[in-house]
Structure 1
């Protein structure tokens, strides 16, 4: 029952993420509102990467970032980021669909080099926090970056101001 709720949200929010990533023009990829912040391209690539964390979250009790490896590919084009997102989201959905609900309350942690920096906490709490809420946080940042760079964004939970006012 919990899994079905997670799958429903996953599907709905993956579509929102898809709409947002597809709205990024190549001309915005290098934009960053402040020097210390990620660029639009880096942020979009990280959003796509979060879907690659499903295996380490659902299928291990300790996600070791010290041994984690991820090839983000060429992020110089928005279409490449969308392609990586599509690849990752497909795998993530399969992992979630095949997950064992009886493990959702098992303790889970994330660390590197012998140090734990997240958890231990029930896996389901980390799924909600690390995989879902973390993603939504970065999508919000991406929306702000795109708007600040003069680009339009799609409505994710209803029409945007521009959409509702014909602009």
Structure 2
């Protein structure tokens, strides 16, 4: 039952994430709201990377980020990030489809080398927090970046203010 719900939400939210990443303009790719913030391109790349983490989260009991090598491309290249996103979505979908209800109860841990950074926690809880909610958090940030640079924001959950007001 939970797997079915996760799959439905995944497919719905992939569409919104795709629209959001497609809204990132090259002209503002280096924008960042503060000195310690990511650039818009780095944030877009991080959003695309979260989909890569589905495989390690759903198929491994201990996921070591330090051992995970990714070919992301340059954060200033939104087309490379979109391609990275699409590849990761396919892998994430495969991992979700291979997951069982019972495996969601298995304990899961994230490490960076020898250091434990998350868990141990039940895999189902991790899927909700580390994958889904984490993604939504960063999509919200991207909406702020787009608005701050005067760009249109896609309606992820219905029409935007601009669409309703005709602006």
Shorter-normalised TM range = over 0.9
The Cα offsets for residues 74-117 of structure 1, whole Å up to 9 and x where unpaired, read as 33222221111111101111110111221100110111222211
RMSD: 0.9
**Where do 4+ consecutive residues of structure 1 move more than 2 Å?**
74-77
> Which ranges of structure 1 fall in alignment gaps of 5 or more residues?
none
How far, CA to CA, are the matches of 1:36 and 1:106 in structure 2? 36
Match of residue 131 from structure 1 = 131
Alignment of 1:2-151 (within 5 A): 2-151=2-151
Number of residues of Structure 1 aligned to a counterpart in Structure 2: 167
The Cα offsets for residues 46-88 of structure 1, whole Å up to 9 and x where unpaired, read as 0001000111101111111121211211332222211111111
More moved, 110-119 vs 8-17: 110-119
The Cα offsets for residues 100-158 of structure 1, whole Å up to 9 and x where unpaired, read as 22110011011122221111110000000001000000000011011101111101111
> Which ranges of structure 2 fall in alignment gaps of 5 or more residues?
none
- Give yes or no for contact 2:52–2:89 (8 Å, CA) kept in 1: yes
Q: Per residue, is there more helix in 1 or in 2? A: 2
TM-score by structure 2 length?
A: 0.97
- Secondary structure of residue in 2 paired with 1:91: helix
Give the 3 Å change call, closer, same or farther, for CA 93–42 of structure 1 in structure 2: same
TM-score by structure 1 length?
A: 0.97
